[in-house]
Structure 1
Amino acid sequence: MEQVRGRSTHDGDVLVIGGGIVGLSTAYAITRAAPGTRVTVLEKEPGPARHQTGRNSGVIHSGIYYRPGSLKARYAVRGAAEMIKFCAEYGIPHAVTGKLIVATEREELPRLHALVQRGRENGIPVRELGAAQIAEYEPEVRGLAAIHVGTTGICDYGAVARQLADASGAQIRYGARVVQVDRRPELGVAVRTAGGDVVRAHVLVNCAGLYCDEVARLTGDEPGVRIVPFRGEYYELARPELVRGLVYPVPDPAFPFLGVHLTRGIDGGVHIGPNAVPALAREGYGWTVVRPRELASTLSWPGAWRIARRHWRYGAGELRRSVSKAAFTQAVRRLLPEVRETDLVPAPAGVRAQAVLRDGTLVDDFLIRQGPRAVHVLNAPSPAATASLPIGREVARRVLEVLGDVR
């Protein structure tokens, strides 16, 4: 492993790349399951949860949307209960609010009824509401019918990530961007950071989120997917009194996004969004952020063009709402007729790391793959934050199996 050289060496058993909520949950689960295991987490930012974890709406999802038996469904239902318990144990702000899913057009009613059945199959309590009953929960919201999902909640995921880092007992190294990986199946893994430091371990865990496919290739494993970044754009509601809790439209099953929704956060503010548009960089939080190498990576992937051809009508609507506040307001008014364009105040955007297959299929479930001395988390979209504790345990289980084989 002498090919990777640097100024200093930090030896350990497991090396986790990525200090978002999944990477930190994995470190936490490893040290809980196997006390004494030496874990190091490398995070390129100066602190945890700076990207997907810290730039979402803070919802603890119930699991109602996800195909019964899928990892998403199992982990979301289990993870929601565990996340509430974790927040209560450590004094992290949270609340179980419930949410409404509202049909505003007749063609949405069959999909709404299908969600009721899916919720029941996933063991989630659901109450069906007529148009007049919606006002019991949200007086300003209008729709033809709705369902109330009582197990949905909200929390501060940034605080959760910080607590996981503190409680894991792992060595967390911030400002440590990985630039080279040297894996020798008979010896272990050595990683060099941009600062010239070298970290050696028996097993590598790739939880790099927006860069997970690139880290997999650095390791020598072909991920079989490409991360195509989608920016989610939000507004803050200037009149938060219009919304009591969480209000969602009926999602389009052909696309893995939930549509523009209303979310009262743990701070009392109401976020509106996101819409989903292609980002011009993996951390492209605005149209002016362009990274040519990353954009070329997206454009060179056949799956990205197949997505564009397959979903161009849907995408055109998302782009229109991105460039036109009036169009965004019109989408919101389907649920909340009282809202005006002046009520919408721009808020920070997020970027979703969406794994896409070569044929243009959007990977819809969590995707975890293994290579020699490596475990790669290659797709962890929403509800990854909700499900982070069980996901962390599953990744930890695989890591400890590999560690037991190579020691």
Structure 2
Amino acid sequence: MDSADIVVIGAGIVGLATAYAITRTSPGTSVLVLDKEDGPARHQTGHNSGVIHSGIYYRPGSLKARYATQGAAEMVKFCAGNDIPHDVTGKLIVATEREELPRLHALVQRGRQNDIPVQELGPAQIAEREPHVRGLAAIHVGTTGVCDFTAVAAALARLTTEGGRGEARIAYGREVRALHRDGRSVIVEPHSGPPVRAGALVNCAGLYCDRVARMAGTTNEDVAGVRIVPFRGEYHELRPDRAGLVRGLVYPVPDPAFPFLGVHLTRGVDGSVHVGPNAVPALAREGYRRRTVRPRDLVETAAFPGTWRIARRHWRYEAGEIRRSLSKRAFVESVQRLLPEVTADDLVPAEAGVRAQAVLRDGTLVDDFLIAGDGPFVHVLNAPSPAATASLPIGREIARRALAVLGRT
């Protein structure tokens, strides 16, 4: 039997940031990261648009607001210190209709509450920053940027195992099939390889975090009442010869009732411009393609009462998302609100991502990061965007909780 002081399930950016933080916070603590894939960042971390979020959208005092604002500055510094491609471009949040103006003004106030510098712009100032974008008003958020989060995850993996101050290992191809307690220890049983005995277990399994939590046999309602409902984020890219239509990052004014930010324009570190995403229900937790269906995932989602309560409450919004998914014309029309010159021929399909959205039984979409657990378990149950931005401070918080289980804080 293998052993470690702490086992971390999941080698996405949050799991790796947690292992990295443990090695820095508690030298000599042994850490083992297990992941079912053959390398790091294979899911949410490796399927996003690479935006370093400022934190402007999030409720003041929430974990998202605190960790995103802090994490954005730390992520830029981490990228600079590890030769990872990044650029602090700033972004525009643009109101294209009069009814959006009060929401835009509310974002200005929220940005100030979160200590984020924002600048209000009129149409002429919008055109100065983004000549091809049209809007009635906008705000410029200077601390937003872009980076390569897959490269960040790879650097965290390297620094954790090679430069860490404790014994740290990462084992790929080690999907977990069972967990159980043995006295004060946790026994982790992978599908392949030996079982592992640990003093504490951190669940950073992303798309599968609720299943891992149920394996742990928790009775904590904060954990047991949560399910992951997967939403596929579908993207297009501007053709390379049309990428000059966008200089930086351009977002619409979001609807505060939903955790999605709407179809936006993102110039990445490689110069390509992502357009999207739509947010549509996925028929599999790894449903990166529309036709991917996994019966177990579909049955679990359909059997969960929260799924149907979401549908009843938000069907109009989701109908619009599905329409843009099925109709390129409808998608282009949504983009043209921000970028009137774009045409259907300018857009080519790009890789999709899947958001692991935590949902409660009453149909509430969990808005903030959710970290909970009992006994030797620490479960990260909601860590979608901006978790990549905030991964370094989130990792320290998770590490603190795991080390507390061992009495090492």
The aligned counterpart of 1:310 is 313
Of residues 134, 142, 160, the one that matches 1:168 is 160
Residues 9-158 of structure 1 aligned to structure 2 (within 5 Å)? 9-158=1-150
Please state whether the residue corresponding to 1:53 is helix, strand or coil.
coil
Q: Deviations over 1:193-238 (max 9, x none)?
A: 1115311111100000000000000011152200000000000111
Residues 327-346 of structure 1 aligned to structure 2 (within 5 Å)? 327-346=330-349
Q: Deviations over 1:98-124 (max 9, x none)?
A: 000000000000000000000000000
Q: Which moved more, 1:309-318 or 1:188-197?
A: 188-197
Of residues 401, 404, 407, the one that matches 1:404 is 407
Is 1:359 equivalent to 2:362 in the alignment? yes
Please state whether the residue corresponding to 1:49 is helix, strand or coil.
coil
- Structure 2 residue identity aligned to 1:20: G
Q: Which moved more, 1:358-367 or 1:215-224?
A: 215-224
1:254, distance to aligned residue in structure 2 (A): 0.8
Q: Distance in 1 between matches of 2:18 and 2:337?
A: 40
Runs ≥4 in structure 1, deviation > 6 angstroms?
Answer: none
Please state whether the residue corresponding to 2:143 is helix, strand or coil.
coil
- Structure 1 residue identity aligned to 2:233: G
Q: Distance in 1 between matches of 2:204 and 2:132?
A: 41
1:395, distance to aligned residue in structure 2 (A): 0.3
The aligned counterpart of 1:191 is 188
Gaps of at least 5 residues in structure 2 are 162-167
Q: Distance in 1 between matches of 2:99 and 2:139?
A: 16
The aligned counterpart of 1:178 is 176
Structure 1-normalised TM-score?
0.96
Gaps of at least 5 residues in structure 1 are 1-8
Preserved CA contact (<8 Å) 2:174 2:193: no
Percent pairwise identity: 74
Is 1:227 equivalent to 2:219 in the alignment? no
Please state whether the residue corresponding to 1:311 is helix, strand or coil.
helix
Preserved CA contact (<8 Å) 2:263 2:334: yes
Q: Distance in 2 between matches of 1:405 and 1:78?
A: 25
The aligned counterpart of 2:165 is none
Q: Distance in 2 between matches of 1:284 and 1:103?
A: 32
When residues 300 and 89 of structure 1 are mapped into structure 2, their CA distance, relative to the original with a 3 A threshold, is: same
- Structure 2 residue identity aligned to 1:40: L
Q: Distance in 1 between matches of 2:21 and 2:193?
A: 29
Is 1:289 equivalent to 2:289 in the alignment? no
Q: Distance in 1 between matches of 2:2 and 2:74?
A: 33
Q: Deviations over 1:122-157 (max 9, x none)?
A: 000000001111011100000000000000010000
Please state whether the residue corresponding to 2:353 is helix, strand or coil.
strand
Q: Deviations over 1:61-108 (max 9, x none)?
A: 000000000000000000000000000111111110000000000000
Of residues 217, 224, 248, the one that matches 2:214 is 217
Please state whether the residue corresponding to 2:351 is helix, strand or coil.
strand
Q: Distance in 2 between matches of 1:268 and 1:129?
A: 25
The aligned counterpart of 1:267 is 270
- Structure 2 residue identity aligned to 1:179: R
Q: Distance in 1 between matches of 2:379 and 2:189?
A: 18
Q: Distance in 2 between matches of 1:197 and 1:327?
A: 52
Q: Distance in 2 between matches of 1:332 and 1:62?
A: 23
The aligned counterpart of 1:371 is 374
The aligned counterpart of 2:261 is 258
The aligned counterpart of 1:204 is 201
Q: Distance in 1 between matches of 2:245 and 2:7?
A: 47
Please state whether the residue corresponding to 2:352 is helix, strand or coil.
strand
Q: Distance in 2 between matches of 1:35 and 1:157?
A: 26
